[in-house]
Amino acid sequence: MLESLVARWGYAAILAGTFLEGETVLLAGGAMAHRGLLSLPWVIACAFAASFAGDQLWFWLGRRYGPRALERRPGWAAPAERVRGWLQRFGAAFVLAFRFIYGIRVLTPVLLGASGYPASRFAPLNAAGAAVWSCAVASIGWGLGEGLTRLLGRAGKVEERVLVAVAAGAVVALFVRHRLLRRRATKSD
């Protein structure tokens, strides 16, 4: 059942999840690709397309509504200052890497748009960052899938040994109990 759900909706889930934020979705997609339920290149392509499109949308929403949204949401002030500081300190490298910093992926394009960051600079940096992020996170998911497969493979062997040990222990316990009951029966005669 899980396989049919992943086969039918896996790419759509990756598109939706990575459009919003989606590291977990992309890690799971990479792991599912390792299991052969999805194609790793398609997982990466879906994640790239949705991540790029989502950040472009947030950028343009920030350009249009950002200053007013910042005024209405005082809780965004501290993250906005951090983002401004990182942008001043690291420039284009920050724009390339912001999606790797947990918790600011959606807010950063909004703030960049609101700050007047040039759209002609944001789009190619966003594309490059989305490409690196999609490949890296999907590959980590693939590796986690490999590790999980190995762990479960070993667990299956360990499980068999534990089952044999429990069965042997049960046989020994039954034998000992039977002997003790026989002794008691013999002593009471």
Kindly state the DSSP code that residue 36 receives in the 8-state scheme.
T
The model's pTM:
0.74
* Pair 106, 80: CB distance under 8 Å: no
| pLDDT value at residue 152 | 61
Which residues does 51 contact at the CB level (< 8 Å), separation at least 6?
18, 19, 22, 99, 130, 133, 134
**Angle, CA of 12, 13 and 18, to the nearest 5°:** 105
Residue-wise pLDDT tens for the chain (189 aa)?
Answer: 566 776 778 888 899 888 987 788 888 888 888 888 889 999 999 999 999 999 999 999 999 988 888 888 888 778 788 888 998 999 999 999 998 887 788 789 998 998 889 999 999 999 999 999 999 999 998 888 877 667 666 555 554 555 556 666 666 766 777 677 667 666 655
Number of other residues whose CB lies within 10 A of the CB of residue 99: 27
Largest Cα–Cα separation, the chain: 100
State both tokens at 43. 């997982």
CB 5 within 8 A of CB 13: no
Distance CA(189)–CA(183), nearest Å, equals 10
**Local structure of 104: helix, strand or coil:** coil
pLDDT of residue 103: 74
Q: Which two tokens stand for residue 44?
A: 């990466």
C-alpha span between 139 and 135 (Å, rounded)? 6
pLDDT at residue 161, as a whole number:
59
Q: What angle do CA 62, 65, 68 make, to 5 degrees?
A: 115
pLDDT at 160: 54
